[in-house]
Amino acid sequence: MAETKKYVRIIRNVSEYGNKNDRIFPALGTWEDSYIIGSPDGVLYVRKKDAELIVTEKRPVKVGERVLITNAVPMGKQAYEAGDIFEAAITNSPVTGAVKVSGLPIFIDYKEYEVIVNNEVKNEDGTEHEASAENLFTEPMTEEVKRLR
C-alpha cells in the first residue's frame, strides 16, 4: 500500500496567516478546530474553516485521477508550481510515472506529484464537512498521547 500524506491549503485570506493564502503545507495533526501545519515560519495552527485538507498517496497516477504538485522542478517558463492540482489525461508516457494533465502542453515527472485520494468536500449549502480520511489524524495522535503518558 502506498504511503499516505496529508497537506493543508490555506483558502481564506486571513491576516494572521500572512502571505500564505493558497499555499500548501504538510499537515502535522489537528487540535480542537484547527489543523497543525509545518511552515518555514515554524508550526502554525490554522482554523479548519480557513483551510482545505488534501490527502495524497505517492504512487503512479491513473487517467482521470487528480494530482497535487508537491515538488515542482523548475524548467524554464514552467506553467505549474507546488500546490497546483490537475487531472491526469495521459499516463506513463514518455516515461513510466510521467503524466500529461488537462490544460498543460507538457508532461509532469513522477517526482513532482502525488495522487489525491481524498479532500474536504463542500456541502450544497457551501459549508464544508471533513473528509473521512481526516480521521487518519485522530488515531495516530491518540496513540502518541497514550505512549507519552
Look at 103 and 19; give whichever has higher pLDDT.
Answer: 103
Q: Which three cell numbers stand for residue 28?
A: 502535522
The mean per-residue pLDDT over the stretch 30-44 comes to 88
Dump the DSSP string for 17-57: GTT-TT-EEEEEEEETTEEEEEETTEEEEEEGGGEEEEEEE
Sorted by where each starts, the structural domains of the chain and their CATH numbers stand as 1-55 (2.30.30), 58-116 (2.30.30)
Give the least confident one: 34-48, 113-127, 131-145: 131-145
- Predicted local confidence at residue 113, as pLDDT: 96
Confidence of residue 120 (pLDDT cuts 50, 70, 90): low
- Predicted local confidence at residue 91, as pLDDT: 93
Confidence of residue 111 (pLDDT cuts 50, 70, 90): very high
DSSP state, residue 95: S
The mean per-residue pLDDT over the stretch 29-47 comes to 89
DSSP state, residue 106: S
Dihedral in degrees, nearest 10, Cα atoms 15, 80, 24, 91: 160
The mean per-residue pLDDT over the stretch 120-126 comes to 46
Q: What is the pTM of this model?
A: 0.73
Report the share of the chain in percent with pLDDT over 90: 40
The mean per-residue pLDDT over the stretch 111-126 comes to 71
The mean per-residue pLDDT over the stretch 13-34 comes to 81
Cα(54)–Cα(40) distance, rounded to whole angstroms? 19
